[in-house]
Amino acid sequence: MGYPKERKEAVLKKMLPPNPKTIPQIAKEEGISEATLYNWRKVARREGRLLPDGDNTPQGWSSADKFAAVLETAAMNEAELAEYCRQRGLYPGQIQQWREACAQANDWDRRQN
């Protein structure tokens, strides 16, 4: 017996920036095992959703989370990017820095020479 899709989505929203809750906090509040919540997050990430697991600030986000944010915002105009950033507690400048880092990532072998 599984959980309804609506409940999963509501619980996953609690993991989203700008004020994400930790999985142990959510497990206690919702009465759902931590293992189930970690699995839901893993599946959502495979679907390309941004669900950071670092600290609550963007500086604590993993490289994969930053890359996901860059991908999500790639085709956004300035107004859409501003709204995206407000919802997640980011600044457009952070997205730009991450975008530049991603663009340079494939040039690592050139810098070695």
Write down the pLDDT at residue 96. Answer: 93
Are residue 41 and residue 84 in the same domain, yes or no? no
pLDDT 10s per residue in the chain (113 long)? 689 999 999 999 888 877 778 889 999 999 999 999 999 988 888 887 777 765 556 666 778 888 888 999 999 999 999 999 888 888 899 999 999 988 888 776 665 55
- C-alpha angle 101/46/42, rounded to 5°? 105
Q: pTM of the full predicted structure?
A: 0.57
The amino acid present at 70, given as its one-letter code, is: V
Write down the pLDDT at residue 5. Answer: 92
Are residue 91 and residue 112 in the same domain, yes or no? yes
Are residue 71 and residue 46 in the same domain, yes or no? no
Through-space distance between the first and last CA atoms of the chain, rounded to whole angstroms:
57
Write down the pLDDT at residue 109. Answer: 62
d(CA 29, CA 27): 6
Are residue 110 and residue 63 in the same domain, yes or no? yes
Write down the pLDDT at residue 99. Answer: 92
Are residue 110 and residue 77 in the same domain, yes or no? yes
| Domain limits for position 65 | 54-113
Write the DSSP assignment of 56-107 as a string of letters: SSGGG--HHHHHHHHHHHTT--HHHHHHHHHHHT--HHHHHHHHHHHHHHTT
Are residue 46 and residue 59 in the same domain, yes or no? no
DSSP 8-state code for residue 17 = T
Number of domains in the chain: 2
Domain boundary among 31, 51, 71: 51
Are residue 42 and residue 61 in the same domain, yes or no? no
The answer to whether residues 18 and 88 touch, using CB atoms and an 8 Å cutoff, is yes
